[in-house]
């Protein structure tokens, strides 16, 4: 198969799937499931083929004419694959979860249709080969996630959707301005390792600082960097699979990935450091990490606490980028994956609690470990990972970030990481304590799925969090194994820092 076809199929298989799902009648549950899973599997297969090629040192790309001086470019390099594989795998898991979660709910056709379009957009972001392509899919992601956020159709959901679009559309305009400006200076801006802007004369440096601010400002909205994070906690009214998608697979991750792309492959990390823009970025990330954790502490709603935790954790990725140096880069990139699998585990579990027992508030968790042991084990693994306990994925990320901070001679970051870990512990450990060590004091709010021997909830809801929790442990224990996220992140880092 030619490179072009491979890349186009990778991006478009979920697009076609989504369109077919829209055309199928609502009742065609079996076909819809088959298309969902089929498209997810085709996508993973294509990505495996691409991985093979990339490991041989190839960079696949396809170029389509789009606008004068701005082609659509899809390009698979090591960095795009990191994000593409993460979202393809998590999409599969989330789809399975969503099928179980939405059992019998109305408007499933609409839900799964937009779900597929959303993944198309995410895949496009991952494989975008230049800024204009990135922007195109980035906006597409905004538009396709809106129907998912407002899926429940309640006034609260609509308010959340309005807020979401208000933030992201303004962010999109800011990003567009940056893209346009850079386009005037450089012509078409294809991503490339080590950056592309360093060819410009020194007189453009002030402009480049402004462009950096515009581009990062645009993507920081989706990455939920404080103070642009307001939409994320509100968006928690969406169904649990959507939260998982927003936090771990698509939206927040797309923003963080955007920061990574812009810093490394547009500006080049060394050039960005010489512009002096990384220091402010690090401070922004640091503030977000602390603010998100502090806000998480005071939330009484489980999903809102997780949402603030995402705000905090996503900025680890940005911090890793902003700390100039290979070790921190490894930490940031690997956290892109690790945060994804840990957070999706937590959201799956929160969804299970809500869907099985009607638990939404934290003080309703007492004794849930007895009732739903497997889910609670998965939740515990995810939470411990977030805290950064050794033998979990989170530890690996923090280890490299800490090393990177030392190497970059930025001691305050170590304190920041320490403080954040303590805060994470402070808001996650009480949950675990309630779940495992307290006894149930009140009846479950609404028991939707009755207990059956050996089965705490429906199988489709139970398996996904167990799989992702297992991967959290594996990524922590076998961090050095071939194809682990860590090894892949090291590979990318080696490309970004030229000898």
Partner 1 sequence: MIRSDALLPILVMLPLSLALLLLLSGRWGRFLSLAGMVLTTALAALLLSHGGQPLHHAMGGWPAPLGIGLRADGLATLMVMMTALVCSAALIYGEYWFDGAKAEQGRQFRPLAWLLWAGVNALLLADDLFNLYVTLELLTLLAAGLAALMATQAALTAALRYLMVALIASTAFLLGVALLYGATGTLALELISIRVAANPQPVLVVAMALMVGGLALKAALFPLHGWLPPAHGGAAPPVSALLSALVVKASFYVVLRLWMGPLAPLTGGVGPVLGVLGGMAIVWGGWQALRQHNLKMVVAYSTVAQMGYLFLAFDLLQGAGYASALNGMVLQAVAHGLAKGAMFLAAGALVVAAGGYRVDQLQGMASRQPLAVTALAVAGISLAGMPPTAGFAGKWLLLQAAWLNGQWLWLAVMLAGSLLTASYLLKVVAVTFLPAPVAASVGCGQRLGGVALMLALLALLAGFAVMPMLQLLAPVATTGGWL
Residues from 350 through 389 that contact partner 1 (CB under 8 A): none
What is the residue whose two structure tokens read 């991750």?
A: 253
Among 17, 100, 172, 331, binds partner 1 (CB under 8 A): 172
Q: Does position 140 bind partner 1 by CB under 8 A?
A: yes
Cβ neighbourhood burial of 81 (10 Å; 0-12, 13-18, 19+):
buried
Contact (Cβ atoms closer than 8 angstroms) between residue 9 and residue 47: no
Q: Which alpha helices (DSSP H) does 372-445 contain, by range?
A: 373-387, 393-407, 411-437
Query: Phi, psi at residue 313, to the nearest 5°?
Result: -70, -35
Does 48 bind partner 1 (CB under 8 A)? Our answer is no
CB of 133 to partner 1, least distance (A): 9
> Cβ contacts of residue 483 below 8 Å, gap of 6+?
none
Task: Convert residues 17-46 into a mask of x (bound to partner 1 by CB under 8 A) and - (unbound).
Answer: -----x------------------------
Please report how close the Cβ of residue 359 comes to partner 1 at its closest, in angstroms.
25
Among 24, 42, 143, 287, binds partner 1 (CB under 8 A): 143
Q: Which stretch binds partner 1 (CB under 8 A): 93-101, 155-163, 329-337, 367-375?
A: 155-163
- 150/368 with CB nearer partner 1: 150
CA distances, 261 to each of 159, 194, 219 (Å):
32, 10, 10
Tokens 């009484």 identify what position?
300
Contact 308, 296 (CB under 8 A): yes
| 298 is a contact residue toward partner 1 (CB under 8 A) | no
CB of 113 to partner 1, least distance (A): 10
DSSP letter assigned to residue 301:
B
Handedness of CA 51, 53, 59, 61 (dihedral sign): negative
Tokens (6 digits) for 492? 């990318």
| Closest among 116, 104, 172 to 147, alpha carbons compared | 116
Helix (H) or strand (E) holding 60: strand 60-67
CB 355 to partner 1: min, Å:
21
- Residues that bind partner 1 (rule: CB under 8 A) add up to a total of 34
Q: Which stretch binds partner 1 (CB under 8 A): 153-161, 260-268, 391-399, 461-469?
A: 153-161
Q: How many C-beta atoms surround the C-beta of residue 4 within 10 A?
A: 14
Q: What pairs with residue 75 in β-bridges?
A: 61
Residue list 313-352, contact with partner 1 (CB under 8 A): none
Residues 89-118 that bind partner 1 (CB under 8 A): 106-107, 110
Region of 147-155, 227-235, 435-443, 479-487 interacting with partner 1 (CB under 8 A): 147-155
Stretch near partner 1 under the rule CB under 8 A, chosen from 66-74, 339-347, 351-359, 386-394: 66-74
To partner 1, the closest distance from the beta carbon of 187 in angstroms equals: 12
The only residue of 139, 190, 366, 456 in contact with partner 1, by rule CB under 8 A: 139
* Interface mask toward partner 1 for 177-196; x: CB under 8 A: x--xx-xx------------
Rounded CA-CA distance 11/285 in Å is 31
Per-residue DSSP letter, 447: -
Residues 67-86 that bind partner 1 (CB under 8 A): 67-68, 70
Judged by the rule CB under 8 A, the positions of this chain that interact with partner 1 are 22, 65-68, 70, 106-107, 110, 135-136, 139-140, 143, 147, 150-151, 153, 155, 157-158, 161-162, 165, 169-170, 172-173, 176-177, 180-181, 183-184
């Amino acid at each position: 198969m030619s490179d072009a076809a491979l890349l186009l199929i990778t991006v478009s298989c979920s697009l076609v799937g989504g369109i077919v799902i829209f055309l199928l009648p609502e009742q065609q549950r079996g076909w819809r499931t088959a298309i969902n899973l089929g498209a997810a599997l085709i996508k993973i297969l294509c990505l495996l083929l691409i991985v093979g090629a990339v490991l041989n040192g190839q960079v696949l790309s396809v170029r389509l004419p789009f606008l004068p001086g701005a082609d659509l470019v899809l390009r698979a390099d090591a960095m795009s694959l990191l994000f593409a594989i993460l979202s393809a795998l998590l999409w599969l898991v989330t789809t399975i979860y969503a099928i179980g979660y939405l059992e019998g709910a109305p408007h499933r056709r609409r839900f799964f249709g937009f779900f597929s379009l959303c993944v198309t957009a995410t895949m496009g972001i991952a494989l975008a080969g230049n800024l204009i392509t990135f922007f195109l899919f980035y906006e597409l992601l905004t538009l396709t996630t809106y129907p998912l956020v407002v899926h429940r159709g309640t006034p609260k959901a609509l308010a959340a959707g309005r807020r979401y679009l208000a933030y992201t559309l303004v962010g999109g305009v800011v990003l567009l301005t940056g893209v346009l400006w850079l386009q005037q200076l450089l012509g078409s801006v294809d991503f490339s390792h080590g950056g592309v802007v360093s060819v410009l004369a020194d007189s453009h440096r002030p402009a480049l600082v402004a462009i950096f601010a515009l581009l990062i400002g645009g993507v920081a909205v989706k990455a939920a960097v404080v103070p642009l994070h307001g939409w994320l906690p509100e968006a928690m009214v969406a169904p649990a699979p959507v939260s998982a998608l927003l936090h771990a697979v698509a939206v927040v991750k797309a923003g963080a990935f955007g920061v990574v792309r812009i810093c490394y492959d547009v500006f080049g990390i060394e050039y960005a450091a010489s512009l002096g823009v990384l220091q402010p970025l690090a401070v922004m990330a640091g503030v977000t990490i602390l603010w998100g954790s502090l806000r998480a502490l005071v939330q009484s709603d489980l999903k809102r606490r997780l949402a603030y935790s995402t705000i905090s954790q996503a900025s680890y990725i940005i911090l890793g980028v902003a700390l100039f140096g290979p070790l921190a880069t490894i930490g940031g990139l690997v956290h892109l994956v690790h945060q994804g699998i840990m957070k999706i585990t937590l959201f799956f579990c929160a969804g299970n609690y809500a869907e099985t027992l009607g638990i939404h508030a934290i003080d309703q968790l007492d004794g849930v470990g007895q009732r739903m042991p497997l889910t609670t084990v998965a939740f515990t693994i995810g939470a411990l990972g977030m805290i950064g306990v050794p033998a979990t994925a989170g530890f690996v990320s923090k280890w490299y970030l800490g090393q990177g901070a030392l190497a970059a001679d930025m001691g305050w970051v170590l304190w920041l990481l320490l403080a954040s870990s303590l805060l994470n512990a402070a808001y996650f450990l009480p949950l675990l304590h309630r779940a495992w060590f307290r006894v149930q004091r009140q009846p479950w709010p609404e028991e939707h799925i009755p207990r059956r021997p050996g089965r705490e909830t429906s199988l489709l809801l139970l398996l996904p969090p167990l799989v992702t929790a297992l991967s959290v442990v594996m990524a922590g224990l076998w961090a050095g194994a071939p194809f682990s996220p860590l090894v892949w992140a090291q590979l990318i880092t080696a490309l970004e820092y030229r000898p």
